[in-house]
Amino acid sequence: NRVTWRSVLVRAVGRLLTDPELDEPLPAGYHQEPRAFAASLHIQLMQLRNLLSDADPNELATAETAYFLSSRTATLRGALLDRVDLAAIGDSTGLRRRPGARLTTVADRNHLRLLLDDRELQVPGHLAPALRHVDQHHQLTPADLAGWLDSDSRLVLCRRLVREGLLEVVR
């Protein structure tokens, strides 16, 4: 998985081209009028130039980082077995970080974006302390989150993190 500047720039330009008018088809016979087509293309290129000059590199870099952190191939050995047993996860169930699984948490207004290798989740912002604990401990039980969440909430969170592939049940 080698990221190139070309791929980053293609995605960055794609993020800037949000005007629905750009999805309109070219006029019929555009290829028969090369000068008119070139003039129209020139206008579009000037608009793109303006978009590029007004673009916020920090915003585009943040979007690219989020893309990278949520589009990697996940290794989910044993995930099917864990999903079948989700309902059996209780407060004392041993859980651990799935080998190779990564969690990146991004605060975004009143919620958090969890970047989990091949996906992105949005969760309420009040889960931040519990998620920090999950991120800092290789092994845990749902009961370890009692300082931040009630029993039902910590089971919901842990089951979700198992279902999404970040955690696995210790067997």
Residues 6+ positions from 38 with CB-CB distance below 8 Å: none
Structure tokens, 76: 């989910």
Residue-wise pLDDT tens digits, 109-159: 889 999 887 788 899 999 999 999 999 999 999 999 999 999 999 999 999
CB 123 within 8 A of CB 110: no
- Of 138, 160, 139, whose CA–CA distance to 149 is shortest? 160
Residue 16: Cβ-neighbour burial (10 angstroms; 0-12, 13-18, 19+): middle
Q: Which stretch of DSSP H or E encloses residue 121? A: strand 119-124
In which band, very low, low, confident or very high, does the pLDDT at 81 lie, cut at 50, 70 and 90? low
Structure tokens, 56: 């916020």
Rounded Cα distance between 143 and 133, Å, is 12
CB atoms within 10 A of CB 82: 21
CB 130 within 8 A of CB 63: no
Structure tokens, 82: 């864990």
Residue 125 DSSP symbol: G
Please give the domain boundaries of the chain with CATH numbers for all domains. Answer: 5-69 (no CATH), 79-169 (3.90.930.40)
Residue-wise pLDDT tens digits, 135-144: 999 999 999 9
Between residues 39 and 87, the one the model is more confident about:
39
